[in-house]
Amino acid sequence: MKGPCSQHTHRHRLIQPSLTDLTAQLRRNSRKITASRQAILNVLRRHQHPLTNREIHAALAGFECDLATVYRNLNTLEEMGMVRRFDFGDGVARFELLTEGDDGHHHHLVCTRCSTVVEIEDCFPAELEAALAARHGFTQISHKLEFFGVCPECRVQKLA
């Protein structure tokens, strides 16, 4: 474990969805406002980094619920467009809370040693999507882009 990676987040979400917004969004989708759901959303609201189901489950304060419930809820929240799922290729899904109207499209720079995550706004591939559509006849094109490398902390650790 390394300390809180304060300075590591490049893109700071300006608007953090409020609890009332979130419950409204749930209600609109005829989803129940359960204690587990609120606890999970609170964990996500407190973290600006992508979290795994297990991490979310571990971070639940006060209210405990089954890990399966966390899994089910994150799938539901993803379907409703309230969270975005990321895949860093390590076989574990990670999630970030989205603000309404924001599709949360961005990418990450992940340290291959300590998994520190930096958010990246740049997204050249988006410019390519139209070209690819024209060239290959594909429609509804999207993409996933993740960067990997060794973060400054890990580099010095190696030297020490």
Binding site for a second copy (CB under 8 A): 10, 87, 89, 91, 109, 111-112, 118, 120, 122, 124-125, 127-129, 131-133, 135-152, 155
Residue 81 CB, shortest distance to DNA, in Å, is: 15
Residue 132 CB, shortest distance to a second copy, in Å, is: 6
The answer to whether residues 95 and 85 touch, using CB atoms and an 8 Å cutoff, is: yes
Please name the amino acid found at residue 69. Answer: T
Q: Which helix (H) or strand (E) holds 117?
A: strand 117-120
| Bridge partners for 89 per DSSP | none
The token pair at 113 is 């040693």
3-state class of 18 per DSSP? coil
Of 5, 59, 93, 154, the one binding DNA (CB under 7 A) is 93
Q: Which residues bind DNA (CB under 7 A)?
A: 27, 30-37, 52-54, 64-69, 71-73, 75-76, 91-93
